[in-house]
Every structure is written in structure tokens, then in C-alpha cells.
Chains A and B, each alone.
Chain A
Amino acid sequence: MRGTLVVYRRELGALFAAPLAWLLLFIALLLNGALLTLLFSSRASLSAPVDISAALEMLFGQGVLFWALMLVMPPLLAMRLLAEESASGTLEYLRTAPLSDAAVVVGKFLAGLSFMALLWSSIFVYSAGMAHFGTAPDWGQVVAIYVGTVLVSGIFVALSLVFSAATRTPILAAFLSFIGCLGFLLLPAIGARLLASMRVLMADAFGSYDRAERFLLDQLSRVDVAQHFIRSYFRGIIDSAEVVFFLTWIAFFLFLTTRTLEARRWRG
């Protein structure tokens, strides 16, 4: 635990001491802010009611920008956390320290997650602004959305760390992480498309395969990150099953990262 904290503090310090992190935050917040402005201005110019809950939902979960940031930011962070250190050789120094691989991985993960948590904390800035200038949003929903976005980020940071641990080339790590995150996010949709196209084929061959298709769709929906988020946190619900979903997948990816690092040690 102490080792994890030491690594976490070291990573956090290194992350925020570098202007890159602030630059990434600047770009992300600029895009988010521009989208919010666009949403508000377009409604106001049409003399239509400006629904602030809908605007917040568009920014944090419903819009493409949200998921784009979710897919881009964690790979860029994770690339720095392991692959870059591996390339520069500092990772080997760290691993010779009296720390377990798990402590190193968890510490780095928490640092990356903290960065993402800071990025999404802009929801509180926007909400406070809305409450001050116009009308207050549903604070319960705002808190739930924030918790959810941090957990979703956690999954993508953890998944990116797996790829970052698997290669010593930072850019390759970022690219593979992006593909991995995209695949994990779109897996249910791709699976459903595939099943739908097979449906006609199977219907021709065997009549109907409703039950099998339903079973497979159910299984696919179990790993649907977007649906897990939208079904609960996004609507203002804290659901124990969803909390377990995010925490177990984060733990699983962190476990894979640790095993990958260990395997590298044995490979030499």
C-alpha cells in the first residue's frame, strides 16, 4: 500500500509538472466548452427552451466528443506511464526498488485516473456556472455522472496500461491502446451487427435462431461499457451491479498489466 502511494505521488508529480498534461486538459476543456456554448447558443437562437440537463448529458455521455476523449486521453497517458519509462530505462530502476509489480501498476493507474478525474471535474464547474447564472442542475445526477465518468475512464486507463506494458515503443503503445479501447467499446455493437447479418443466413439454413441470438446478444451486452454507464450513472443512479462491473474490469486489466510486466521480467 505504501509502495503504491509512493509510486502514485511520483507519477502525479511528474504528470502535472510537465506542461503536456495541462495542454491536453486545455484542449479537452476547450472542445467541451465550445460544444456546450454551441448547444446553448443554438437553442437560444431558435428561441427554444435551453434544457441544461440535456446539455450536460450531451457533454458527459451522449455526445461523440465524450467518447472520443475517453478513447484518446487514456492511451496518451498510459503511453507515458509504462512504455515511455520502459524505453528510457527508468522503469527498470523502478522495478529494482523494493516494490512489487502490482504496487507499481496500481500507483501508475491511480495517477492516470486522477488526471482523468480532474478532466471530468469540469462538470462541476459548468454546473456551478449554470446554478450561478441561470438555474441549478440536478446535483444528484451531476454527482452520479461524475462518478460514472471516472469509472469509465478507469477501465480505459487500465486497458491502455496493458498495451503500454506490452511494448517499449510509446507511440506503438498509444496506437495499440487506442485500438484496444475502441474494440472494447464497440465490441457489443460489432457483435450485434455480425449476429444480425448472420441472422438471415441462419434463418435460410435452419429456420430461426432467435434463442441463440438472444443469448449471444445478452452476453455481449454484459461487456457493453457505454450501456453500463448510460443505464445507471448517466441517469443519476448508483447501481451496485454497475459499480462491481467497472471495478472488476479495472481489476482484471490491472492484473493483466501486472502479469505482462512479470512475463517481461522472465523473458529477460
Chain B
Amino acid sequence: MARMNSRGQGRLARAGIGFQVWSSAVLALAAVLMINWLAARPGVRQRFDLTATAQNTLSTATMGVLKSLPGEVTIDVFFREPDEPVLAQVSLQAMARTGRLLGLYRDLSNGQVRIRQNDMENTALIQERQRQLHLRGIEPCLVVSSGDAREVLRVNGDLAVFDPGQPDPRLPNPRPPSIQEYRAEYAITQALLKVTRGEELAVYFTTGHGELAIPETGEFGLDKLHGLLMDEGLRVGQWNPTEDGPLPEDCACLSILRPTDPLSDETIEAIVRYVESGGRLVVGPSSDDAELERSRLNELLAPFQLEIGEGMVCQLVRDPTTGRPTDGSREVAQFPINPANMTRHSLVEPFRSSGRTFYMNGAHPVRVTGQPPQGVSSPLFTSELYSWVDLPPYDLRANESTEAHSRKFELALASQFRPADLSPAGALEEDPEARIVLVGSAFAFTNVIFDANYDFLRNLYNWVLDREYRLSMSPRRPDLRIWPTEKLDELPAMNRLAWLWTPLFCLLMGALFAFLRSRGGPRSASTSS
């Protein structure tokens, strides 16, 4: 009886211990899950990108978009082996890179962006998902959707541009297919904006005074700028004051680029009134002094204490053969803006900090004649120290007796201020702020220089529209580490190091230890420790 009792107590004790072990394990598991949950909270989580070119860091523009997403966005991935065998390799490369990029979007969006990998083998599921997304047909693509809105991004065309190359070695210039341009981050971010944004902001361009024309496709047209603004999610319109009447109410920004004919008193008054009530204005004059004078742009800018000077700012260029500074050629009036000559204004800060440039051509010197009462006007960038202002008749040479020279000239200004006649706010309402960007030459906006100035123009319009979070630079090229072709004969040595010398070293170490052990060396050392 006593034995049975002790056996029962023993069982009870074991059950108790078992319960204790299991319950502590469950509690520990709960603690692990909770700590992990806490560590992944946005405020707590810290990321450090160790790669040399910050490949795992999204641009500030994308981060701004992710932070301001109003709701959840789903990105459906429909990636599969492409149909065209020629482009299969580059397609797969682009898809792999996009896959990595999508991981960043998911990780950095605080759960706002959800990536849905669709199993392309499972036809039934694919068809069901396509029905939900109102899609037909199959092509490698991403579908960005939020509610009813959706955007389809094809691998070839939207996420990347492929060069089919010249695979036939018998034909001249044979080359393998390659990725000509990879722009997935830009495309995905634009798609996120498109599916989540509400009302589009409208940018109007004045017409009727000989201005540069938005639909114009030639060198001095603005159709590339038009495309850029559309890509940025803006609506673009034209305003002819004499034909269209008052400035449209939905105008978020007005651009006046190279007017050659005089703006009427009414037009000037309407624009001044618009800016003074918190409007946004972009001004770029004609390079020609006579046209500038005729356009009356300085009269328009006078109330805001901004002024466009006469003449054209030129810089010495180096003669390609002698290397000496020289003048007299067309290049003196078209020059890159050195990051050292950029201010710390947020519009140009991305260029300054990343050491990139953009171009000016035939720019007038501009200056701030006084500060607005409730705001600030400041220069954006200047010319080089040894510059001069070429006056008509333009000879592109520095005439030190008659022309201002040997100093930096301001080439663009930004002004932001609160409207002076603001009535006291009753209830909560928007606090208006006027913004003006004056660039020394409208040429900087044209097709001929657009590719070099793409980032500058994008940032300019985003700044003037108070979308600072979208100021950014185009992504860098991927950091490819390719074995140099001139060192291909060293490859066997590398291979030998990998498969022969490294393992052999371990084998020798093992043999050495075995030998020492047989003589009582390391064994005794280890036991004594």
C-alpha cells in the first residue's frame, strides 16, 4: 500500500514537473513572439544598409510616397518565364531585381504595401485573381491595386527597357541582349501614387505671348516636360488670358516660359493677385534681352522683389587642345551647374549632396531686390567665379571695360511667403503659402536639354507645389561586380583557391591535430582546460 502511494506521488511529481516544463516553454514562446512583434514596430526598427552604393535604400521620393499612402496597396506579382527566348535572360534578371525591390517596398511601408506572389503554375488561382483584378491574358507584369484602382506594369517597357542586341555573329556589331534601362522603382512609385491619390493637381502654362508650347515636339518644345509632369501625377493645361478669361480656379501652379510678346496689364494684375493669394509661379524668360524687355516679366516680378538682369551669363571654358581657359565659343553660354555653386535650398540640395549637375543655357543674371514681409527669397545656384555678363550684341567674349565680370552671378531664385492680406482664420483652414521659382532662362525647360535637366525640373515642380517629400535624384545604376575581362586568365587561380587550397588547408589542419593527438598534445591541453 505504502509502495503504491509512493508510486502515485512519484507520478504526481513527474506530472507536476512536466506541466512546469511545458508551461514555461509556452510562456517563453509567447515572450519570443511578443519581443519580435515589438522589435518590428516602425518606431523601434532600425535598418543599416551596408552596401557600397546603398542598393537597399529607396529614394527619398519613394519613402515620402510610402509614408503618405492613405490606405493599403496590393502589388500582385505575375512573373513567369518570358515567351521570347531571345530576351529570356534579361527578363529574368529584371524580374529578379524587381523581386528584391518589392521586398524593400514591403519592408519599408509599415505594412501599407502588400506583395502577393501568384503561383503561375496554378491556372485556376491565376484566373480567379485576374477576374478580381479585371485583367485578361498573361504577360510578366506587376499589378498595383488599391480598391478599384489598378495599374499594370509590364516587365519590358514599364519596369525596364530591353535592348534585344544583335545575337547573330555574322551580322555587324553583334552584342548580347541587355537591360538598356531599369526604372522599376520609379514605375512602381508612380503606380502607387496613381492608385491612391485623389484629386490631381493642375499645372497651367500661359500661351498667347509667344511662349514655349507644351505640345511642341521640336528641340525648343516642351512635350518632354509635359510627359514628366503627367508622370508625376499632375494635370497639365494651357491658359491664354485673352481667350480663356480668368485663371482657372483649379490652377495649382502657373508657368510662364519665354514670353516674347508683352503681357497685358490685366494679365499681370491677375497673375500677381493669384500669387498674392497663395498661388505658385514658375518663370523662365527668353535669353534675348529685347524679348525679355518686351515681355514685361520684370514688371510682373517687381511686386515680389525679384528681378531679371540684362545680358547673358557666360563662363570661360577650357580649350580641348591647349587646356587653357578660353571664350568666344557657344559653349561659354551653356554650362553645367557645379554642385559647389549650389545653395543648401531643398530644391537643389539633392544635387549638391550627390555631386550631380544640370545645365543652363543663355541664362540672365537674376537677383533678389528685397525680402518679402512674411517669407524668404533666396538664390538656388550661381555661375562659376570667373563669369561675365555678355551684353548685346552678344560676342561671347568677356569685355571687362563694359561688362560685369569675375564674379559669380545668381542664375535662379526661389521665393516663398505667406500672403500679406490674410484675414484671421476662424475655423481650422489651410494656411496658404505662395511660391515662386525664377530660372534665368526658359531654355532649361526645353526638349533639347531635358534629359540632362530631368531631375532638376522634376524637383522644381515638386518644390513649387509643396511636395518636398518627392524631391529626389534618379536611382544610380546597379552596383555590378563583374570579373574584369582582362583578368579572365586569373580565374583558374581563384578557382583553385576555392576548391583546392582552402579545403586542403582544413585537411592538413585535421592531419596535424590527429598527429599531435596521437602524441598526447592538444587532447591533454583541452582536458586540462
Asked if B319 is at the interface (CB within 8 A of a chain A CB), the reply is no
Do B490 and A240 touch (CB < 8 A)? Answer: no
Do A32 and B32 touch (CB < 8 A)? Answer: no
Q: Chain A residues near B56: list those with CB within 8 A.
A: 235-237
**Stretch from A64-72, A173-181, A252-260 contacting the other chain:** A252-260
- The count of chain B contact residues (Cβ–Cβ below 8 Å) is 72
Among candidates B25, B44, B125, B513, residue contacting A18 with C-beta atoms closer than 8 Å: B513
Asked if B88 is at the interface (CB within 8 A of a chain A CB), the reply is no
Among candidates A26, A50, A141, residue contacting B483 with C-beta atoms closer than 8 Å: A50
Asked if B506 is at the interface (CB within 8 A of a chain A CB), the reply is yes
Asked if B49 is at the interface (CB within 8 A of a chain A CB), the reply is yes
**A238, B56: Cα distance in complex, Å:** 11
Name, among B21, B56, B125, the residue most crowded by chain A CB atoms within 10 Å (CB to CB). B56
Asked if A201 is at the interface (CB within 8 A of a chain B CB), the reply is no
Asked if B51 is at the interface (CB within 8 A of a chain A CB), the reply is yes
Asked if A206 is at the interface (CB within 8 A of a chain B CB), the reply is no
Asked if A16 is at the interface (CB within 8 A of a chain B CB), the reply is yes
Among candidates B18, B24, B49, B507, residue contacting A236 with C-beta atoms closer than 8 Å: B49
Asked if A126 is at the interface (CB within 8 A of a chain B CB), the reply is yes
Q: Chain B residues near A122: list those with CB within 8 A.
A: 502
Asked if A88 is at the interface (CB within 8 A of a chain B CB), the reply is no
Do B32 and A33 touch (CB < 8 A)? Answer: no
B245 to chain A, nearest CB (A): 51
**A53, B478: Cα distance in complex, Å:** 12
Contact with A along B485-505 (1 / 0, CB 8 A): 001101101110111101110
Name, among A6, A29, A32, A44, the residue most crowded by chain B CB atoms within 10 Å (CB to CB). A29
Do B480 and A51 touch (CB < 8 A)? Answer: yes
**A235, B36: Cα distance in complex, Å:** 21
Which chain A residue has the least Cβ–Cβ distance from B104?
A235
Q: Chain A residues near B494: list those with CB within 8 A.
A: 40, 129-130, 133-134
B45 to chain A, nearest CB (A): 5
Contact with A along B26-45 (1 / 0, CB 8 A): 00110111011001100011
Known: A32-B498, A52-B482, A138-B51. A263 touches B511 (CB 8 A): no
Which chain B residue has the least Cβ–Cβ distance from A267?
B14
Q: Chain B residues near A89: list those with CB within 8 A.
A: none
Do B522 and A238 touch (CB < 8 A)? Answer: no
Which chain A residue has the least Cβ–Cβ distance from B510?
A22
Do A13 and B522 touch (CB < 8 A)? Answer: yes
Do A236 and B55 touch (CB < 8 A)? Answer: yes
Asked if B484 is at the interface (CB within 8 A of a chain A CB), the reply is yes
Asked if B523 is at the interface (CB within 8 A of a chain A CB), the reply is yes
Q: Chain B residues near A256: list those with CB within 8 A.
A: 25, 28
Asked if B119 is at the interface (CB within 8 A of a chain A CB), the reply is yes
Known: A10-B526, A237-B47. A126 touches B483 (CB 8 A): no
Which chain A residue has the least Cβ–Cβ distance from B514?
A19
Known: A22-B509, A135-B481, A136-B481. A17 touches B32 (CB 8 A): no
Contact with B along A45-84 (1 / 0, CB 8 A): 0001111110000000000000000000000000000000
Do A259 and B25 touch (CB < 8 A)? Answer: yes
A100 to chain B, nearest CB (A): 16
Asked if B517 is at the interface (CB within 8 A of a chain A CB), the reply is yes
Asked if B107 is at the interface (CB within 8 A of a chain A CB), the reply is yes
Q: Chain B residues near A27: list those with CB within 8 A.
A: 503
Do B525 and A36 touch (CB < 8 A)? Answer: no
Name, among B17, B21, B494, B516, the residue most crowded by chain A CB atoms within 10 Å (CB to CB). B494
Contact with B along A135-173 (1 / 0, CB 8 A): 111111101100000000000000000000000000000
Asked if B124 is at the interface (CB within 8 A of a chain A CB), the reply is yes
Known: A17-B522, A222-B33, A248-B32. A36 touches B498 (CB 8 A): yes
Known: A49-B483, A133-B494. A244 touches B50 (CB 8 A): no
Contact with A along B44-66 (1 / 0, CB 8 A): 11111111110110000000000
Do B481 and A138 touch (CB < 8 A)? Answer: yes
Interface residues of B in 323-344 (CB under 8 A from A): none
Known: A16-B513, A259-B25. A33 touches B502 (CB 8 A): yes
Q: Chain B residues near A263: list those with CB within 8 A.
A: 17-18, 21
Q: Chain B residues near A19: list those with CB within 8 A.
A: 510-511, 513-514, 517
Do A144 and B50 touch (CB < 8 A)? Answer: yes
**A141, B479: Cα distance in complex, Å:** 11
Do B482 and A135 touch (CB < 8 A)? Answer: yes
Q: Chain B residues near A22: list those with CB within 8 A.
A: 506-507, 509-511, 513
B129 to chain A, nearest CB (A): 11
**A32, B482: Cα distance in complex, Å:** 20
Asked if B147 is at the interface (CB within 8 A of a chain A CB), the reply is no
Do B50 and A52 touch (CB < 8 A)? Answer: no
Do A236 and B39 touch (CB < 8 A)? Answer: no
Which chain A residue has the least Cβ–Cβ distance from B128?
A203
Asked if A87 is at the interface (CB within 8 A of a chain B CB), the reply is no
Asked if A125 is at the interface (CB within 8 A of a chain B CB), the reply is yes
Q: Chain A residues near B51: list those with CB within 8 A.
A: 138, 140-141, 235-237
Do A248 and B506 touch (CB < 8 A)? Answer: no
Do B499 and A135 touch (CB < 8 A)? Answer: no
Q: Chain A residues near B40: list those with CB within 8 A.
A: 241
Do B513 and A133 touch (CB < 8 A)? Answer: no
Which chain A residue has the least Cβ–Cβ distance from B24?
A259
Asked if A266 is at the interface (CB within 8 A of a chain B CB), the reply is yes
Q: Chain A residues near B52: list those with CB within 8 A.
A: 138-141
Q: Chain B residues near A255: list those with CB within 8 A.
A: 24-25, 28
B511 to chain A, nearest CB (A): 7
Q: Chain A residues near B514: list those with CB within 8 A.
A: 19
Name, among A30, A41, A267, the residue most crowded by chain B CB atoms within 10 Å (CB to CB). A30
Q: Chain B residues near A202: list those with CB within 8 A.
A: none
Q: Chain A residues near B522: list those with CB within 8 A.
A: 13, 16-17
Chain A to chain B: the 4 pairs with minimum beta-carbon distance, closest first: A22-B510, A13-B526, A140-B50, A33-B499
A-B contact pairs, 26 of them (CB 8 A): A10-B527, A10-B529, A14-B526, A22-B507, A25-B506, A29-B502, A30-B499, A37-B495, A37-B498, A37-B499, A41-B491, A44-B483, A50-B488, A52-B483, A133-B493, A133-B497, A141-B50, A196-B119, A196-B125, A199-B125, A222-B36, A231-B103, A236-B55, A237-B47, A237-B48, A240-B44
Can you name 10 extra interface pairs (CB under 8 A) apart from A248-B32, A255-B28, A259-B24?
A9-B529, A49-B480, A51-B481, A133-B487, A133-B494, A237-B51, A240-B39, A241-B45, A244-B36, A248-B36
Residues of A within 8 A of B (CB): 6, 9-10, 13-14, 16-19, 21-23, 25-27, 29-30, 32-34, 36-37, 40-41, 44, 48-53, 122, 125-126, 129-130, 133-141, 143-144, 196, 199-200, 214, 222, 231-232, 235-241, 244-245, 248-249, 251-252, 255-256, 259-260, 262-263, 266-267
